[in-house]
Amino acid sequence: MKGSRKRALLMSDLAKMAGVSKSTVSRALAGSDLVNKETRAHIQKLAAEHNYRVNTNARNFFLQNCLTIAVLLPSANRGDWRISDPFFLELLGGIAEAVNEKGHQLLLAKTHPQTGNWIKEFIDAHTTDGVILIGQGAQHDKINEIAEHFNALSVWGAKVDAYQRYPTVGSDNELGGYKATRHLLEQGRRRIAFLGYTTLPEISLRHAGYRRALREADIAADDSLQRPARHSKSAGYLSTQKLIEEGVDFDAIFAVSDLFAMAAITALQERGIRVPEDVAVVGYDDVAISAFYNPPLTSVRQDRSEGGRLLVENLLAAIDGEAPPCRLLDTELIVRKSSGG
């Protein structure tokens, strides 16, 4: 009877059954080494069980050794990261170079604020071979859930706990915070304000380094000097204004990003407070503009080029069925005039 013929199984159907992308199915059916043995065998078994017939034209298209790698920027509208953030742009440049060297293509996605299942929704709605996520924010548990079923993930961030199922690449944030604070202490500063939102994994580690340096110097941490501030153009400025208006005694600022530090310097200079004579300032990231700010900004350098390369390396390993490690990059304190060093 007309219309009674069963619809032929599509590659997308097989991909959904296997929980992988269409390109992974195509490579697996062709015996490509880009797919690990277990996944390849599973897909081939499903294809045999469902009498799947390969569409030669589709296979030839997908078998190009070109993967589509999506870079997700969380909280693009507000929150921890902005697409115009200098550090993000420089890290993205490192990722793009590494992706290009491997002969793959890059998809940059501006996502919604970090609520709900936005990462999973993106993965379900787009045909990508893997995802690089810039920053964990407060979404560690959600990313862990996604990693149970979608392992082609690589995240710029920090290792949170022993139960983490996804690989991260990031600098040694605790050591970076320690180096920044110890440097200020060596300049004779004793009332060091900390600007940063410590509920975020990376910032929490920088704060731990700050507190370690204070302990070693036998200085008690003062809550009035620790100012939570989310990532925005005005956060460092407003936090510094409040310190001044509240009459808090401080002679140095350690800001968890260069943007925070630059905004803090602006707030200080508007009140006639000299940098570094009256208040020394250290930032974090060492973005390119730091060396040309007034005064030039002392900052903790993160290697964006190496970070981008390792993010891509980890992702390709995950796509190939491996379990890549969490990578920890060293940090370097770049001393300039803003800290008096």
Domain ranges of the chain: 11-62, 68-170+303-331, 173-302+333-339
Helix (H) / strand (E) element for 173: namely: helix 173-186
Q: What pLDDT, in 10s, does the model give residues 132-156?
A: 998 877 788 888 888 888 888 999 9
User: Is 68-170+303-331 the same fold as 11-62?
Assistant: no
Q: What is the structure's pLDDT at 208? A: 97
Q: What is the structure's pLDDT at 61? A: 44
DSSP state, residue 338: G
| pLDDT of 6 above 60 | no
Residue with tokens 């043995």: 37
Instruction: Provide the residue type at 221 as one letter.
Output: A
Q: What pLDDT, in 10s, does the model give residues 102-142?
A: 888 888 876 555 555 777 777 777 678 889 998 877 788 88
Q: What pLDDT, in 10s, does the model give residues 286-338?
A: 999 999 999 999 999 999 999 999 999 999 988 878 889 999 999 999 999 99
Instruction: Identify the residue with better confidence: 88 or 74.
Output: 88
- When mean pLDDT is compared across 21-25, 138-142, 205-209, 236-240, the lowest value belongs to 21-25
Q: What class does CATH assign to 173-302+333-339? A: alpha beta
Q: What is the pTM of this model?
A: 0.78
- For residues 91-109, average pLDDT: 88
| Of 110, 24, 14, 105, the residue nearest 67 (C-alpha) | 105
Q: What is the structure's pLDDT at 53? A: 61
State the average pLDDT for the chain: 84
Asked if residues 292 and 269 have their Cβ atoms less than 8 Å apart, the reply is no
Provide CATH code, domain 11-62: 1.10.260
| Of 192, 170, 332, the residue nearest 261 (C-alpha) | 192
Q: What pLDDT, in 10s, does the model give residues 164-173?
A: 999 999 999 9
Grouping H, G, I as helix, E, B as strand and the rest as coil, residue 15 is helix
Can you identify the CATH homologous superfamily of domain 68-170+303-331? Response regulator (3.40.50.2300)
β-bridge partners, 334: 299
